[in-house]
Structure formats: C-alpha cells, structure tokens
Amino acid sequence: MVKQTLYEATNAAAAIMKEYANKNFTISNKEGINNLVTEVDHKCEDAIFSIIKKNFPNHNLLSEESGEFAHDSNHKWIIDPLDGTVNYANRIPICCVSIGIEVNGEILMGAVYNPFINEFYFAEKDRGATLNDKSINVSSTDNVKHSCLATGFPYTYLDVENGPLEVFGKLIRKSIPVRRLGSAAMDLCWVAAGRFDGFYEHKLNAWDSAAGYLIVQEAGGKVTDMKGNYYNPYQPGIIATNGIIHQQLLDVILGGDL
C-alpha cells in the first residue's frame, strides 16, 4: 500500500508537470533573485499531498513548498514536488518529482520520475534500484581523473574555502568533465544508472536528496556527507559516487590535490 501510494503520488505530479509544459504558468521569486517557484510546483505538491493524505492521513510530511506537517507517526514522506524548477520554468526537460519515505529515521523507499524523458527510478532498502522496472547499477570507473561528474551550485555559500567554486575549479582545471544539470534528484539517479561516476553538492535540502540517496545506495554506490561520514539528509553536503572513486573525490573536496 505504501509503495502503491508512492507510485500514485509520483505519477500524479509528473502528469501535472507534463500537462503544464506547453501552457502558461505563473513564476515567482523565493528568497533571492532567480530562486524560482512556479504555479506548477504548488499544483504538484497539492496533488501529492491529497494522495498521501487519502491513504495515510497520520503520516508525517516534509515538502519543499509547505514545510513540515508532523503527526504521531514513524513514517515521514520527504517530498520535492518539482526538482529542477529553473529548468522547468525555461522549458528545459531536466526536472522531476522526487519522493523519499523515511521510517523510524531511515529512508526505506524512494521514487524519482522525469516524465519528459520517461525515466522512473525506484528503490527499496535492500531490494535494489530500478529504472523503468529494470535493475540499474553504478559505473565501474576507478579513477576520478577519468570520471564524468555532476554538481550543483547553491544561491549562496559559493566563495568559501573548499566551497563549490573552488572544488569545481580544481576539477575542471584537470579537464575532468563536471556537468551541472540543475536537478539534484536527476544527478543522483544518473549516478545510480552509471552515467555519472559521481555527484557532489555543498548545500542541499532533505527533499532534494532523500529518494536519490537510496536509489544510488541500492544501485551499488556510496553516499556520504562531505566529511565522508554516514549520509544524513538533514545536513547540507553530499557526495554520491560509484563507491570506487569515493575516497579520491572526497580528498579533493576536503582540500587535496588531484
């Protein structure tokens, strides 16, 4: 029932994203210039909420546009109704809905769906990860110097020591391709699918990574915070890799040279 509801909610949000892709919708600014939210983000969130609440009225919810609704439950749905809003607002089809389910503090299930390229990622703890129902695995690249990476840049916190710009500079000066898709959930799924060897970002929120974190882990990858510790989605930094290059990438992020 939980899995079915997860699929239903994910599909409903994706259908709304598609429906509005060729229509006009309102776009407004959150804190800071170009930190956008659209009417579609809210519509997706409403649809997800109503499906979860219909089946599990007492489950806790944490969602980007509405914050937290806490009940007396050990289940928490961690929701990014539309990840990649700037892309969506510019009609760039790299965006998705992302929903992770935490039970007693542990993420046990996650789904990410990009309806524009028809990619539905799903993972359940200890049961592997799938893309459109087919099993997926991380890459086998064993040297960060030969890897293809992805990252994202926050709206603030750019110029600190070992921060986003410094790490990016270090990697691209060594001719390592570092892509910036604009959707952290897609970045994580593409690590899981073996397209990227690794992804890192200095400042994410739990809704950006909850589902993608489990999808990478279940595809055989490794996910830690930026110190190499066990990943906790409620702190900002993330490194997600195929596992083999993890320490090498971590060393660079901690200030080492390549």
Binding site for ligand IPD (CB under 6 A): 80, 83-85, 152-154, 182-184, 201, 204, 208
Neighbours of 183 (CB within 10 A): 28
Q: Name the binder of 204 from ligand IPD, Ca ion, none, CB < 5-8 A by kind.
A: ligand IPD
User: DSSP characters for the chain?
Assistant: -HHHHHHHHHHHHHHHHHHHTTS---EEE-SSTT-EEEHHHHHHHHHHHHHHHHH-TTSEEEETTTEEE--S-SEEEEEEEEE-HHHHHTT-S--EEEEEEEETTEEEEEEEEETTTTEEEEEETTS-EEETTEE--------GGG--EEE---SS--SSTT-HHHHHHHHHHTT--EE--S-HHHHHHHHHTTSSSEEEESS--HHHHHHHHHHHHHTT-EEE-TTS-B--TTSS-EEEE-STTHHHHHHHHTT---
Residue, CB closest to ligand IPD? 152
Least separation, in Å, of the C-beta of 64 and ligand IPD? 6
Smallest distance from Ca ion to CB 53, Å: 20
Of Ca ion, ligand IPD, none, which one does residue 116 interact with (CB within 5 to 8 Å by kind)? none
In the complex with ligand IPD, the residue whose CB is nearer, 154 or 228, is 154
Binding residues among 44-83 for Ca ion as defined by CB under 5 A:
64, 80, 82-83
Residues 206-245, one symbol each (x = binds Ca ion by CB under 5 A, - = not), give --x-------------------------------------
To the nearest whole angstrom, how small is the minimum distance from the Cβ of residue 253 to Ca ion? 21
128 makes contact, choosing from ligand IPD, Ca ion, none, with CB < 5 to 8 Å by partner type, with none
> Min. distance of Cβ 248 from ligand IPD in angstroms?
23
Q: Give dist(CA 233, CA 205) in Å, integer.
A: 7
- 179-208 binders of Ca ion (CB under 5 A): 208
Residue 152 binds: one of ligand IPD, Ca ion, none (C-beta under 5 to 8 A by kind): ligand IPD
Q: CB 94 → ligand IPD: shortest distance, Å?
A: 9
Binding partner of residue 164 among ligand IPD, Ca ion, none, CB under 5 to 8 Å per kind? none
Are the C-beta atoms of 44 and 16 separated by less than 8 Å? yes
CA dist., res. 206 & res. 113, Å (int): 17
* Residue 197 contacts which entry, ligand IPD, Ca ion, none (Cβ below 5-8 A, type-dependent): none
Give the interface with Ca ion as residue ranges (CB under 5 A): 64, 80, 82-83, 208
